[in-house]
Structure 1
């Protein structure tokens, strides 16, 4: 099951890298992920717009990572990742507010999917080969923004009582469609 859920995350990350070398533009002023007694620094943040959901809300995905990664490599090593599938009322905008997890229909200020990995490595098929990871099954993400600088805090849970908390403050690098 983890393999199937890693595939969308890895696809997003491959798209981000193939769209150019934007990694230097997304350095955080402060970011941290805590999961299962381990802590990682989050230094890169990306935003990708998937358009309208058909009900007036818009699909905007956020990916926070601990380092720049060459996702075209056969293996991805020692990276921490927080992937959040959020929904807003404005296209290509991460709005300030609280996003609450729901496994139901996409709507404004709803998180419908997510993934957390700490000190993880993945093989070319997206299988976790090292580290700890879980698929989000609950939690909240709180966003504030001032002059283009985002403050994102999160408390996320998994199906097996996993819990991750953290925050990120910095800019978001857009992932452009090619």
Structure 2
């Protein structure tokens, strides 16, 4: 009888061990999207056109820089806050309802069919190399839509 109980206990522990060894990858990694955006798995091209506009000093001491990325069927807007009056700063920007350095307070993704997404969760990563700005984003819209993308190019400064 003891052998039967130990055998059953051994099988139960073994099956639980294999069950708990499932991959820890939550599939939240950003796919390889060179100048593209993926919205719930549908990929849209970004044509390489990007704009940067300064809105100056915020009341908290950060600086307000707006970025617009254009595509054939999608336009993307980020309201980023940096610690520099001279332009974007490399780093990770996270959503916040309040302006502060390295936050975004607003983001908007507009599709050509009129569908509009307002992400209020996630990150926007800025990397700089000379005149080239690389923007990688992993966002979740208010309705739960996953929005991921990458853009690289020269941002045209609007005065």
TM-score normalised over the length of structure 1: 0.67
| 1:60/1:92 contact within 8 Å kept | no
Aligned to 1:112: 105
Q: Deviations over 1:145-165 (max 9, x none)?
A: 011101110011111111110
Gaps of 5+ in 2: 1-33
Aligned to 1:98: 92
The alignment status of 1:35 with 2:31, answered yes or no, reads no
The alignment status of 1:132 with 2:115, answered yes or no, reads yes
Partner of 1:42, secondary structure, is strand
Give the whole-Å Cα distance in 1 for the aligned partners of 2:133 and 2:152.
5
Q: In the comparison of the two structures, how many residue pairs are matched? A: 125
| 1:45/1:171 contact within 8 Å kept | yes
Q: Deviations over 1:55-95 (max 9, x none)?
A: 2200000010114xxxxxxxxxxx30110000001114110
Aligned to 1:84: 78
Gaps of 5+ in 1: 1-29, 68-78, 121-129
The alignment status of 1:54 with 2:72, answered yes or no, reads no
Deviating beyond 3 angstroms after TM superposition, the runs of 4 or more aligned structure 1 residues are none
Give the whole-Å Cα distance in 2 for the aligned partners of 1:170 and 1:107.
26
Partner of 2:152, secondary structure, is strand
Give the whole-Å Cα distance in 1 for the aligned partners of 2:44 and 2:106.
21
Aligned to 2:7: none
Which structure's CA Rg is the greater one? 2
Give the whole-Å Cα distance in 1 for the aligned partners of 2:59 and 2:120.
24
Higher relative contact order (Cα pairs below 8 Å, separated by 6+ residues): 1
| 1:48/1:62 contact within 8 Å kept | yes
